[in-house]
Amino acid sequence: MNRALLELQEIDNSIAALTREKTALDDGTAARGARDTLEQAVAASVAQTQKTAVERSARELELKTAEEKIARQQSRLMSASSPHEITALQRDIEALTRARGDLDEAILNLMDEGETQTAQLAKFQSQLESAKTEVEAIETRFASETARLERELAAARERRGEAEAALSPAEREKFAAFAKKFGGIAVGKAVRDNCSACGAAILTFTRHEAKNQQFPTCEGCGRLIFIE
Ligand SMILES: [Zn+2]
């Protein structure tokens, strides 16, 4: 059997391996998904932090108004003379003081909430930065590995053309038919005493006959078998 058949097979094997490697490359889809999720988390966190700040400003304004009212009523109380007016002002001041206490508490809670949200936002932002760096690294690697594999594939295909041209028409036809039948692996070779494609032991008879046959085949898988 012509060694050129084995050489063509070896080129096909390397084309298949390069193609598998290319298919298995990480194009960054998962990393981009993680980055996009973090972008949404940052946006949601910014909105939440702003909402808390707006609410705190509103409460602080209410507190200022309550304090002004208290001061106003207290100065009225100083100059009040009728007991009815004094009682009314005292009640008003009590109610305003309770409202001020509630506002103080609400503002403290909003400050705590704001701090927690700001810390959470900083955490998401730092995670987002890492995720962006990761995406860039993966995309850069994907581009360079794709280019390398495409160069290697182009070179292998060129070698394949030459190897195929070196075969006789009968050999070319046989190779093509067997490659189609056996999922791209038309030819095995004897490695120690086994077929490289299926692992079956090569019979002494086959080994002997192979010397005289143009297309010897493996007893195990039926592929063409090259024996030194
Ligand atoms: Zn075999």
Rounded to the nearest whole angstrom, what is the distance from the C-alpha of residue 203 to the centroid of ligand 1?
Answer: 11
Q: What percent of the chain has pLDDT over 90?
A: 93
The CA 226 to ligand 1 mean position distance, Å, reads 10
- pLDDT (tens digit, 9 = 90+) per residue, 153-179? 999 999 999 999 999 999 999 999 999
The pairing of beta strand 224-226 with beta strand 194-195: unpaired
Phi, psi of 187 (to 5 degrees): -125, 130
pLDDT for res 158: 98
Which H or E run includes 163? helix 83-165
Counted residue by residue, the chain has a size of 228
Does the pLDDT of residue 1 top 90, yes or no?
no
Fold for 3-165, please state it.
Answer: Helix Hairpins (1.10.287)
CA 130 to each of CA 31, 118, 124, 125, 195: distance values in angstroms, whole numbers, following the listed order = 10, 19, 10, 9, 50
Q: Mind listing the pLDDT tens digit for each residue in 170-227?
A: 999 999 999 999 999 999 999 999 999 999 999 888 888 888 899 999 999 999 999 9
Coil, strand, or helix at residue 217?
Answer: strand
189 Cα–ligand 1 center, Å: 8
Distance (angstroms) between ligand 1 centre and the Cα of 10 equals 15
Can you tell me the distance from the alpha carbon of 123 to that of 170, in angstroms, rounded to the nearest whole number? 68
Question: Which of 200, 155, 167 has the alpha carbon at shortest distance from 7?
Answer: 167
Report the separation in Å between the CA atom of 220 and the middle of ligand 1, taken as the mean of its atom positions. Answer: 5
Q: Where are the domains of the chain?
A: 3-165, 169-226
Ligand 1 centroid from CA 177, angstroms? 16
**Over the chain, what is the mean pLDDT?**
96
